[in-house]
């Protein structure tokens, strides 16, 4: 795993149908630009195909000290999963568990999860019409009541948006379209990563540590 306990910085979500090159090539390029966390989606593939792809991506990330998180309850041979808001509840036992959330009600359901995403923060081309968007003000309000670190997700394409999310208290930003559709994923990843690092150093926001008093130990 990465040296960080939970995903932070720029987190890449995969969607090969939007990629302008083979998915492994996009991930390699994003890692070269500073990405250290990748969430493997591709749920239309068979389990065998996803497991083979997971192995390839882990090898790419492993060389950089990164971590692959698998969307869904099956870690595909790893130990990190990201679950949808709909379930399963309670979360499966795994070394790292994240969950997608969209509002205060879903945040309140969290139990032993290590982190959550909040979306959509901005209008998104990947899921047009999905929302309504939280915008940074709504993101800030939900982060204030969250018991776990939050990744901002949805429509994040620019350095200014990254800085706004960090200012709202996000531990990192989850990015799909801006990297999948990029002509040069390395350049975009480097730009967004630099924006996250600069915002953190400037003190505009910081990752909120997960509370330890109520966290179950696996």
Is the omega angle on the peptide bond into residue 152 within 30 degrees of 0, that is, cis? no
Which pLDDT value is given to residue 58? 98
Which pLDDT value is given to residue 95? 97
Which pLDDT value is given to residue 127? 63
Phi, psi of 90 (to 5 degrees): -70, 165
Query: Cβ distance 66 to 31 under 8 Å?
Result: yes
Q: What's the whole-model pTM score?
A: 0.89
Which pLDDT value is given to residue 212? 33
> Half-sphere exposure of residue 9, counting CA atoms within 13 Å on the CB side?
21
Smallest Cα–Cα separation from 207: which of 1, 7, 62, 2? 7
pLDDT band at 122 (very low <50, low <70, confident <90, very high): very high
């Amino acid at each position: 795993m990465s040296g960080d306990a939970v995903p932070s910085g720029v987190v890449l979500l995969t969607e090969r149908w939007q990629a302008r090159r083979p998915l492994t090539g996009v991930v390699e390029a994003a890692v070269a630009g500073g990405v250290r966390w990748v969430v493997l989606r591709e749920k239309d593939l068979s389990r065998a195909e996803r497991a083979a792809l997971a192995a390839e991506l882990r090898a790419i990330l492993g060389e950089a000290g990164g971590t692959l998180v698998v969307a869904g309850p099956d870690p595909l041979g790893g130990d990190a999963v990201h679950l949808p808001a709909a379930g399963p509840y309670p979360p499966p036992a795994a070394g790292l568990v994240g969950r997608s959330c969209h509002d205060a009600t879903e945040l309140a359901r969290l139990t032993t999860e290590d982190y959550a995403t909040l979306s959509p923060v901005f209008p998104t081309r990947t899921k047009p019409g999905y929302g309504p968007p939280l915008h940074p003000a709504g993101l800030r309000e939900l982060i204030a009541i969250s018991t776990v670190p939050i990744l901002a997700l949805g429509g994040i394409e620019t350095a200014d948006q990254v800085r706004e999310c960090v200012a709202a208290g996000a531990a990192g930003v989850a990015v799909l379209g801006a990297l999948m559709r990029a002509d040069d994923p390395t350049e975009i990843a480097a730009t967004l990563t630099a924006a996250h690092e600069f915002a953190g150093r400037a003190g505009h926001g910081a990752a909120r540590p997960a509370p330890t008093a109520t966290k179950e130990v696996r």
